[in-house]
Structure formats: structure tokens, C-alpha cells
């Protein structure tokens, strides 16, 4: 069973970096490869090709400030993303959809997203206190998912 955990985030966009911080704390602690990336779409897809199971840890933006700091887990199932929402970039879900329809076989059988809810993303290099508190919880969610498989 080849497993990978990818932390996604931008180190200069405040709370957006939380995914990177979570995976740094998992290094050497779980039976999975750990990677950090700042890319999405195909760049992110290529990171996980060839693994049986992949976990993506990323910040999720919410408009509801009461939600900030919550940790959510999603399992990506059959995807049929049809709408390309931005004119210049492709979402991760779009990339998986395209790869599947193109017959690419190395896509992991199970893809899990662990999202840490954040509200403000701005040019700065530190994570806010309320989002910091979510890091140990997110670490536990990933550990549980990897060990429980």
C-alpha cells in the first residue's frame, strides 16, 4: 500500500499556509510519504499519481467566521467536473476528471481531502492563533485516516 500526504498552501498568504504546517508535523510519524506543494490542478494531481491512497491537506476559505478553525474531511468520489470556473487555472477536481476520462490509470483509488477552515487570506507569513489551534486536530485526522486504512 503506497500512501502519500500532500500539504497544500502558500507560505506567504497567512492562514493559507496551514496545510504545509500540518504535514510538517507528520514527518516521520506515519507510514506515508509526505510532500509540500503550492500548486493545484495538474501540478497537484501529478504529485499523487502512482499512489494507492492520497490525502490532501489544505486551507478552505469560509465566509462564516464562526467556522474558522474547524477541520473537515471529504472523500473524493466519482467526479464529473464539467465546468471550468476560472479562465486561467484548472481546479484539482477538473484535473482528476480529465485524467480519468483520458484513461490515466495511476490515479489513487482513494483520495481524501482534509480541510482546515480559514477566513482571511492576506500577504503575511504567520498563521492566525485560531487557525493554529486547529493544527493538532488536523494532524490527528490524518493519522487516523492513514493508520486506520
Partner 1 sequence: MDEKGNVRDAYLQIPELRGFEKFCQGRRAEDMPQITSRICGVCPVAHHTASVKALDDAFGVDPPPTAKKLRELAYCGYMIYDHILHFYFLGGVDFLVSPDAPPSKRNIFGLIEKAGLNIGKEIIKHRAYGQKIVEIIGGKATHPVHGIPGGVSKPLTEEERKEIEKMLKSCLDFARFSVDLFDKFVLKKERYIDMIKSDPYSLKTYNMGLVDDKNRLNFYDGKIRVVDQEGKEVLKFDVRDYQKHIAEHVEEWSYVKFPYLKKMGWKGLKDGKDSGIYRVGPLGRLNASDELATPIANEEFKRMFKELGKPVNSTLAYHWARLIEIIYAAERGLELVNDSEITSKNIRNPVGKPGEGFGAVEAARGVLIHHYKVSEKGLIERANFIVATTSNAGAITMSVRKAAKAMIRNGKIKEGLLNMIEMAFRAYDPCLACASHSLPGGMLLEVDLYDADGKLVKVVRRD
By CB under 8 A, residue 43 contacts partner 1: yes
Nearer to partner 1, 25 or 41 (CB): 41
Taking CB under 8 A as the rule, does residue 12 contact partner 1? yes
Among 50, 65, 89, 126, binds partner 1 (CB under 8 A): 89
Q: How far is the CB of 104 from partner 1 (least distance, A)?
A: 7
Per-residue CA distances from 141 to 13, 22, 88, 107, 110 (Å): 24, 10, 33, 22, 16
Within 113-142, the residues that bind partner 1 by CB under 8 A are 121-124
Among 5, 32, 79, 99, binds partner 1 (CB under 8 A): 99
Cα–chain center distance at 11: 14
67 contacts partner 1 (rule: CB under 8 A)? no
**Half-sphere exposure at residue 72, Cβ-oriented, CA atoms within 13 angstroms:** 13
Complex with partner 1: residue 54 or 90, whichever CB lies closer: 90
Amino acid at each position: 500500500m503506497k500512501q502519500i500526504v500532500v500539504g497544500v498552501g502558500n507560505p506567504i498568504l497567512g492562514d493559507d499556509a496551514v496545510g504545509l504546517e500540518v504535514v510538517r508535523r507528520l514527518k516521520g510519524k506515519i507510514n506515508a510519504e509526505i510532500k509540500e506543494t503550492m500548486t493545484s490542478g495538474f501540478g497537484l494531481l501529478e504529485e499523487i499519481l502512482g499512489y494507492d491512497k492520497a490525502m490532501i491537506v489544505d486551507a478552505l476559505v469560509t465566509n462564516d467566521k464562526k467556522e474558522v478553525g474547524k477541520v473537515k474531511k471529504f472523500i473524493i468520489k466519482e467526479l464529473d467536473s464539467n465546468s471550468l470556473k476560472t479562465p486561467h487555472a484548472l481546479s484539482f477536481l477538473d484535473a482528476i476528471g480529465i485524467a480519468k476520462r483520458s484513461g490515466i490509470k495511476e490515479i489513487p483509488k482513494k483520495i481524501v481531502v482534509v480541510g482546515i477552515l480559514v477566513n482571511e487570506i492576506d500577504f503575511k507569513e504567520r498563521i492566525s492563533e485560531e487557525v493554529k489551534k486547529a493544527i493538532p486536530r488536523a494532524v490527528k485526522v490524518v493519522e487516523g485516516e492513514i493508520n486506520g486504512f
